Structure 1
Amino acid sequence: MSFYTSLSGLQASQTEMATISHNLANVATNGFKKSRTEFADVIASSVSLNPAQQVGSGTVVKANRQQFGNGNYVQSANTLDLAVSGDGFFVVKPDVDGARVNFTRNGGFLVNSERYVVDSQGSHLQVYPVDGSGSVVATGTDAARSLQLPETSGTAVPTKNVTMSLNLNANAAIPTATKFDRFDPTSYNQSSQTTIYDTSGNALTLTNYFTRATTPTSSTDDSTWTVHSFVGDKQLTSGGADKVTLTFNPSGALTSPLGNISYDEFSTAGSTATQQFSFQYGVDTTQLSQPFNVTARGQDGKAVGQIQGVSIDEKGIVKASFSNGDTQALGQVMLANFSNPEGLRQLGNSYWQATGISGDAKLGSAASNGFGSLMSGTIERSNVDITEELVGLIAAQRNFQANAKALDTASQISQTIFNIRS
């Protein structure tokens, strides 16, 4: 029995040394969180055994617990280098239109060739959409979009045609709120955002809010949705009506409208003339028992001026400035937190993924609802303390040596017993 007792100590010490070695190896990894090995003693107890005569059976690794204390913060010259001071994770998507999300504390972001803000692995930073004043117009997981800096051009081309293909969830329920309010998430089911351009070349956010209107009562009934559209804080009308109705047949195919939807003329604060455009839903727009998803979108407008800089305030509002003096709010950086961060699954590359132990992600923004503040031009380094880890490594090594000595002693005793019998 003493062989296995000492062996359990060797294995546990080896695990602890591996954990400490992993911490030390990532001392320079931005956003890395160290782990701590915890042990538990093994006791084979029985009601018939005198407690004063119990002998333990060794140890076992109970857990490798992640330690989510803040690391050191280092200033940088890159505005897109972000750090969360306090609780919260950045939300990133490996694919622009994909559903899979990862969470990270490494806020080293840059701009790729398609003008998306990405990290060093190419995952896209997620933000909430905002209107022209910087107010968030939609929240929640479905509202998240990849932060993209506006395209630059020397000639302004106002948007005349917008196209979109999407799927609306056939299992969605009719909202509880009886009156639509874009600031009340209970009054609509989903929303989507499309960047369009006005007559001056300013980028605007076209937000469509989709609301389930009717559900079929039989297998032959159609289903309808209403769509309210806003450009910034300006509500659009079509033929004087403030909403458009989408009709789907029992198979989930769009039956109306199949052509262009002409919106009435409107003007915005940054425009010198009124504007009008047409909107068309693609033939592959569907209502199926699948999550809401925008599969394709497009528009024929073009911005004017060249981008000169990007700024991010402590609340995460991202603003771009242009050579013509315009500024545009692009979104608000989305943060996530968890009831039990220690239950997150490590994926490598400073990524984590939610599990049943961590609980679902609680989404929010910086400096609100228990989330930490956001610092631009700052990077969070690893929270590994080299001195502490080296001391722990020495202790783990001595534990290993002590268990090895106990194993050697047990071997010598066994050999002595064998010699007596011979």
Structure 2
Amino acid sequence: MSFYTSLSGLKGAQADLATVSNNVANVNSYGFKKSMTLFGDIASGSRTTPGYGTRLKAIEQQFMQGGFEATARELDIAITGNGFLVTRSSLTGGPTLFTRNGHLSLSEDNYLMDAAGGYVQVMPVDNDGNVTSMELEAVSYLQVPELSGTPRATSEMNISLTLPSSASIPVAPFDRLDPNSYNHSVQTTVNDSEGRSIPSTIYYRRTSATTWETRLFVGNTEVSSNPLIPTPPTPLTLTFDAGTGALTAPLTRVNYAPVTPGGSSTPLNIGISYPAATTRQAASAFDLASLTQNGVAVGRLDDISIGDDGMVTATYSNGDTRGLGKVAIANFGNPVGLKQRGDAHWSVTGESGDAVLGEAGSQGFGAIQSGGLERANVDITEELVALISAQRNFQANAKAIETASNMTQSIMNMRT
């Protein structure tokens, strides 16, 4: 029996070695939780007979907190405290898995995904950022919209400025590529019906002591101030009072001829107003007081971030900021009972209990730290000591088997 008793110890030491080796191998795996082997003795049931060796009861994971590693990525998150991220393996459903590896990224179609290719699940929120449901059935995939806002084509521009009364009258005929052919220019943008921003320039050229000629270009196309005569383009003339410098014409909005910028499907119908109260000619330098236009550009995704409360926020080029949902945090009554699925992922079992969802930072749920990742909770020094201990146990049981074998051989030799 001593042979089989030592053999059970040899197998136990081998399992211990395998467990420690797995811990050491994953020391650099984010979100990894180390394991330990639990053994039990095989009792004989007799007061006069020793036990029959050892048996492997379980390989149990240790879910204590791992250390943090700071990164420069806004989509890297770490959970400080209890909880797991919730993921699904595919867009068509698949198993629900749980992980603490917060190395997240956006897929080609802008879905939020974890390091193993799982789709991160978020809880729905209202316009104020409050979670509306914490049921596992209510969580959803997060696809970040590429665009934000409702575009509107520019139909009106409002310009207030001061033109210098001391400006010279250019001799050369107007040529937008010749700065000597005009006195001043103003750059802005207008928007087409699809929200695209199109560069626009207005040139100011003095033509007499009391008049200025203005030319509007949308892209590379000059637009006529007379919608009845689109070609050749007619410049707009600003007229000022010789004594006071006040604007005398035009005193109402000027509607320009339609213009279709390159790439646009519909023409722009722009009107320009120069308010008399804020547009003048004076003995001062050129001054653009204001230039506004009523077009609205569609916002394109600029940035995405995850706050300490798990709120995923997208920021767009037009200034829009949208809260898209809160990262779902799951907790379990007995996380040790979770089943390992590889890549620092786990699934629910009867021993773990059902997942309970909550907001990051609320009672019983860890907070989210953005810009960092949780390292494996493996202490390499402890594991090396355990490795030596397992190796010695293996050697001792092997020696016991060798001794039992030698004793058996000696007995057989005695019979002969």
Common topology (TM > 0.5): yes
Cross-structure match for 1:280: none
CA–CA distance in 2 between the matches of 1:145 and 1:9? 49
Are residues 1:86 and 2:81 paired? Answer: yes
Q: How does 1:15-414 map to 2 (within 5 A)?
A: 15-45=15-45, 49=46, 51=47, 53-98=48-93, 100-152=95-147, 156=151, 304-414=298-408
Once superposed, what is the RMSD of the aligned Cα atoms?
A: 1.9
Separation of aligned partners in 1, 2:355 and 2:70? 28
1:154, CA displacement in angstroms?
A: 9.1
**Partner letter of residue 17 of structure 2?**
M
- Contact 1:132 / 1:328 at 8 angstroms: preserved in 2? no
Q: CA deviation at 1:135?
A: 1.5
Count of residues paired in the alignment: 275
Distance in 2 (alpha carbons) for counterparts of 1:103 and 1:150: 25
What is the identity, as a one-letter code, of the residue corresponding to 1:151?
A: E
Q: How far did residue 308 of structure 1 move?
A: 1.6
- Kept in 1: contact 2:149–2:320 (CA 8 A): no
**Paired AA for residue 25 in structure 2:** A
Gaps of 5+ in 2: 153-192, 196-296
What secondary structure, in the 3-state scheme, does the structure 2 residue paired with 1:74 have?
strand
| SS of equivalent residue, structure 1 residue 399 | helix
CA contact (8 A) 1:27 1:386 kept: yes
Q: Deviations over 1:243-284 (max 9, x none)?
A: xxxxxxxxxxxxxxxxxxxxxxxxxxxxxxxxxxxxxxxxxx
Give the counterpart letter for 1:371 in structure 2: F
**Structure 1 residues 304, 137: CA separation in 2 closer, same or farther (over 3 Å shift)?**
farther
The one-letter code matched in structure 1 to 2:304 is V
> Which residue identity does 1:388 align to in structure 2?
E
8 Å Cα contact 1:154/1:306 also seen in 2: no
Letter in 1 for 2:371: G
Alignment check: 8 A CA contact 2:88 2:121 kept: yes
Larger of the two Rg values belongs to structure: 2
Cα distance in 1 for residues equivalent to 2:137 and 2:396: 56
Give the Å deviation of 1:128: 0.8
Amino acid in structure 2 at the alignment position of 1:142: E
Distance between the aligned counterparts of 2:108 and 2:72, measured in 1? 20
CA distance in 2, matches of 1:151, 1:353: 32
CA contact (8 A) 1:30 1:380 kept: yes
- Tell me the residue number matched to 2:275: none
Q: CA deviation at 1:355?
A: 0.4
User: % of aligned pairs identical?
Assistant: 51
Q: In 2 relative to 1, CA 118–11 (structure 1 residues): closer, same or farther, beyond 3 Å? A: same
Alpha-carbon deviations, 1:93-113, whole Å to 9, x = none? 111241521100101000111
TM-score by length of 2: 0.64
Counterparts of 1:200 and 1:132 in 2: how far apart (Å)? 26
1:81-127, CA deviations, whole angstroms, 9 ceiling, x for partnerless residues? 11101100000111124152110010100011110111122211110
1:6 is the counterpart of 2:6: yes
Write the letter of the residue equivalent to 1:128.
Answer: M
Residue deviations 1:190-247 (CA, integer Å, cap 9, x gap): xxxxxxxxx999xxxxxxxxxxxxxxxxxxxxxxxxxxxxxxxxxxxxxxxxxxxxxx
Q: Deviations over 1:378-397 (max 9, x none)?
A: 10111111110010000000
- The letter for the 2-side match of 1:315 is D
Q: Cα offset for 1:411?
A: 0.7
